[in-house]
Structure 1
Amino acid sequence: MQIEKPLIINATEPEKLKPILPKPVILSTPVTGWNGFYFAYHRQLNHKIPETCPDQHISAICIEGFQANMKINKQWQHKSYAASDVAIFPAHQISPAVEFEQELGFIILCLEPEFVHRAAYESVDADNVEIIQQLQSHDPLIQQIGLALKRELEISIIDSRLYAESAANMLAVHLLKRYSTRKLIIKEYTGGLPKYKLKEVLTYINDNLEANLSLAEISAIAQMSPHYFASLFKQSTKIAPHQYVTKCRIDKAKHLLAKRELSILQVSHLVGFQSQSHFAKVFRKYVGITPQAFRANF
């Protein structure tokens, strides 16, 4: 008798997942250009998933409670999941077959193994650390990361890369700290960035506000891992890198709007927003009025 092999799944090949996830994905990030992090939000109905072996580390977050049958050690077991439950399926490890009994919504967060290594390479030898599979775990932080990303990406995917990458780095470090095969202590650094490195980073950010900046790109200027850099940057500036970039973009937008030489669409593009509607929402959040109302005062 031929033994069925686990289905290899890869977040960069979503078309190949249609047999097990037949309904179209509702919300997802691009499969390229995001430095090894992928987000997807699904709603599926009574679907079945065979044994799988993912190429990425997968964190699955329930949107609501549900019932499922799971094949563990060749035996089917009935399991109940609460809305706050998460499951973690490490890369290159076999995940059990599952039969879902109802329609459900769930968030999938996928990290390339290399992404996890980059996130904290000063703190731990991530190449020699194995993530432990979790079929059911109560983890408020992972749930919070997933739901926050969903809210952000629903507003604008194209303008949310830096925010998403920052959240993904937090997830990577959390997986290493809580779910690795050996107890890890991620080093905490204090004192902020050296002044010369902070100056280099701030100059780079302000010179490239129109670009789709990433945390990996900015941290590379300081020659640090994203986790290490983000921690020290916040100590130096009192805000996270993605918040600082947004603040700089809004400050520049105010200057350009006051000059009245460019259209609001042109201004939004020059400060790094590809979506004018998203630019207007962020501008109003920071300034208290819309770009149109701000310009009308000049």
Structure 2
Amino acid sequence: MPEVDAHTSFPSSSSGNDILRVETLQYAPGEASCHFEETHTIFMPLASRPIHYLQAQDDKTYTGLYRKGDILITPAKIPLFVRWEGEENCLQIQLTTQFLQSVARETLEQNSDLIELIPTFHVRDAQMEAIAMMLHTEFQQDTSGNRLYLDSLANILAVNLLRHHATKRPQLPIYEGGLPPRQLQQVLDYIDAHLDCEIKLADLAQILDMSPFHFSRLFKLSTGKSPHQYLIQQRIEHAKQLLKQTDRRIIDIAYECGFNSHSHLSKQFRQMMGVTPKVYRMG
């Protein structure tokens, strides 16, 4: 029986950052033992056909069918045994314990030492499923230019886990009114000055000494856009200026505007403007 730990290379596609890791696991029928010390793990089948599982964790056992969207939650330090009878195609999402603790402390104002996730078999959670599929879609592409978007999804996922799948279920604060104009301008100035850089959600929240989740909600109330949407808008606006006012290569414009490739710029540009950068320049 294969032993799976945090250092195993899976026969799958994987990607991630310092708070989040997403993998697609594909296995022939078999069994495995998993034990992740520093990450909380969410498993969700992707296959259209149901698969029969035997699962054991925290002295409890589940036997039955999992369909696409059914979720298994395994907290850090909890050993998990799994046996499956069909071809497995599964999405695995991991959040670090440190990140979840920071969200509990900064966003929900909870003592992170008192909150534990509950090992959970075969649960349906519409919001978690939606977030998981957005992460799956994003990690199938080149994600290096979308850190802000991934951070936002990670924060929403962490809050969901803490509110609905923990021993203590804190209430989410009510967000009203948006950011004061002076604070909003501080953030907008920072974004405009760092369009060519990787901007993390935590970077923006830190400017105002807020939790990333809290900041995201107030920013959207103020601007009507998420931080990621606003950042893409500003990068495209800067690209438009460079396309019209200079004869620089499009790849160089892409890098200066924070896109990691010509194709990345072209995709975002077409979504916002309806044409490619080349056509826009010629028009």
Seen in structure 2, the aligned counterparts of structure 1 residues 117 and 265 have a Cα distance that, compared at 3 Å, is same
DSSP 3-state at the match of 1:106: strand
Seen in structure 2, the aligned counterparts of structure 1 residues 275 and 119 have a Cα distance that, compared at 3 Å, is farther
Which 5+ residue runs of structure 2 have no aligned equivalent?
none
Match of 1:291 in 2: 277
Match of 1:3 in 2: none
Contact 2:184 2:219 in 1 (8 A): yes
The amino acid across from 1:63 in the alignment is L
Seen in structure 2, the aligned counterparts of structure 1 residues 184 and 197 have a Cα distance that, compared at 3 Å, is same
1:224 aligns with 2:210: yes
- Count residues in correspondence: 278
Q: Among residues 4, 22, 26, which one is paired with 2:13 in the alignment? A: 26
CA distance in 1, matches of 2:64, 2:39: 24
The amino acid across from 2:180 in the alignment is P
Match of 1:93 in 2: 78
Which 5+ residue runs of structure 1 have no aligned equivalent?
1-6
- Superposed, 1:257-268 pairs within 5 Å as 257-268=243-254
CA distance in 2, matches of 1:51, 1:259: 56
DSSP 3-state at the match of 2:275: coil
Point out the more displaced range, 201-210 or 34-43: 34-43
1:180 aligns with 2:166: yes
Seen in structure 2, the aligned counterparts of structure 1 residues 89 and 208 have a Cα distance that, compared at 3 Å, is same
1:48-97 deviations in whole A, cap 9, x for unaligned? 212524421111121122112224687875321011101111112233x1
Contact 1:49 1:98 in 2 (8 A): yes
Point out the more displaced range, 186-195 or 248-257: 186-195
- Superposed, 1:1-298 pairs within 5 Å as 9-10=5-6, 13=7, 17-18=8-9, 21=10, 23=11, 25-29=12-16, 34-50=17-33, 52-64=35-47, 65-71=50-56, 78-95=63-80, 97-120=81-104, 121-125=106-110, 126-297=112-283
CA distance in 1, matches of 2:32, 2:262: 40
CA distance in 2, matches of 1:137, 1:66: 15
Seen in structure 2, the aligned counterparts of structure 1 residues 188 and 237 have a Cα distance that, compared at 3 Å, is same
TM-score under structure 1 length normalisation: 0.87
DSSP 3-state at the match of 2:140: helix
1:126-180 deviations in whole A, cap 9, x for unaligned? 3321111112101121111111122222232212221111101000001111011
Identity rate, percent: 28
TM-superposed deviation, 1:102:
1.8
The amino acid across from 2:15 in the alignment is S
Seen in structure 2, the aligned counterparts of structure 1 residues 72 and 207 have a Cα distance that, compared at 3 Å, is closer
DSSP 3-state at the match of 1:168: helix
